[in-house]
Amino acid sequence: MNNHFKVFALGALTLAVISSAGCDKLRARDQLNKGVESYKNSHYEQAIDHFQQAVQLDPGLINARMYLATAYVSQYIPGVDSPDNLRTAQQAIDEYQKVIDANPARDQKVNAAKGIAYLYLNEKNWDSAKKYYRMASDLDPNDPEPYYSIGVIDWTACYQPRMEERAKLGMKPDEHLNPKNRDQAKVCQDLKEKNTPSITEGIDSLNKAIQLRPDYDDAMAYLNLMYREKADVECDDLAQREEDLKTADHWVDETLRVKKAKAEKAAQNAQGGITMDQSK
């Protein structure tokens, strides 16, 4: 009799747990829907509260975590290093990382990796940003955007120290380092050693982006800039410097050509959308 009762009690408890878990999942989806509605209406703090409740009720609800991370990003202000703003960025990073760790569908994992990379990019944490852009590329090799972003990071990493060294030497930003000047020659060699890996990676990444998207004018513009960085550290090889500058000019021309073609196409599409009154 006692054993019979124990089995019955255990079964009842199991059903109660299952029922409670089912209710929590339903409540989580309700909070998710409320959060989406608040987010669409730009009520981001309310949205965050709903999404937080959703993931508490159902930690496996990946969409809720993605929305929660996105809502945090909407509250983040790029370029502001206040403790509150950095905390918001970290909260978004943490939620995106939980999405990645849950091994979700590829698109969700790619978007989470891009989200983390974007935040690290704005915090000027170049290495971490590139790490997550590379993760996105590994997951979706046909997406040109991570390659472009890596190229932008590499150019930024080269350009800033180059400008700082010129300022120390009292040089103009566009003035070439003179190999016959001992101080400038040393700076050029130091920059070449420091920047060449980023220059090589940046050029390769931007070329890959353009291969995947032949009309990627932003990537073309940065490829121009990247070749100018390469030209700048051709310390003793003036012929190679001139060749790099010619390549840079080529990408300027390509950028303008593509932008013009896009503008003409947009104008044609706009004209095609106008219905003429044939009665007059």
Assigned domain for 241 exists:
yes
- The per-residue pLDDT for range 180-215, each reduced to its tens digit, is 889 989 999 999 999 999 999 999 999 999 999 999
Q: What is the mean pLDDT of residues 73-102?
A: 95
Q: What is the pLDDT of residue 172?
A: 87
When the pLDDT of each residue in the chain is averaged and rounded to a whole number, the result is: 88
The string of pLDDT tens digits covering residues 142-172 is 999 999 999 999 999 999 999 999 899 898 8
User: Is 114 within the bounds of a domain?
Assistant: no
Q: How many domains does the chain have?
A: 1
pLDDT tier at 114, thresholds 50, 70, 90 = very high
In a domain, 208, yes or no: yes
- Domain assignment present for residue 52? The answer is no
pTM for the model stands at 0.83
What is the tens place of the pLDDT at every residue in 231-277? 999 998 989 999 999 999 999 999 999 999 999 998 888 876 544 34
User: 13-39 as b/e, with b when 16 or more CB fall inside 10 Å?
Assistant: eeeeeeeeeeeeeeebbebbebbbebb
Q: What is the mean pLDDT of residues 46-66?
A: 93
Residue 277, in any domain of the structure:
no
Question: What pLDDT sits at residue 156?
Answer: 95
Task: Flag whether 91 is in a domain.
Answer: no
Q: 239: domain range?
A: 152-261
Instruction: Judge whether residue 1 has pLDDT over 90.
Output: no
Helices 62-75 and 2-40, axial angle in degrees (round to 10): 40
| Residue 235 belongs to some domain of the structure | yes
Looking at residue 22, its pLDDT comes to 59
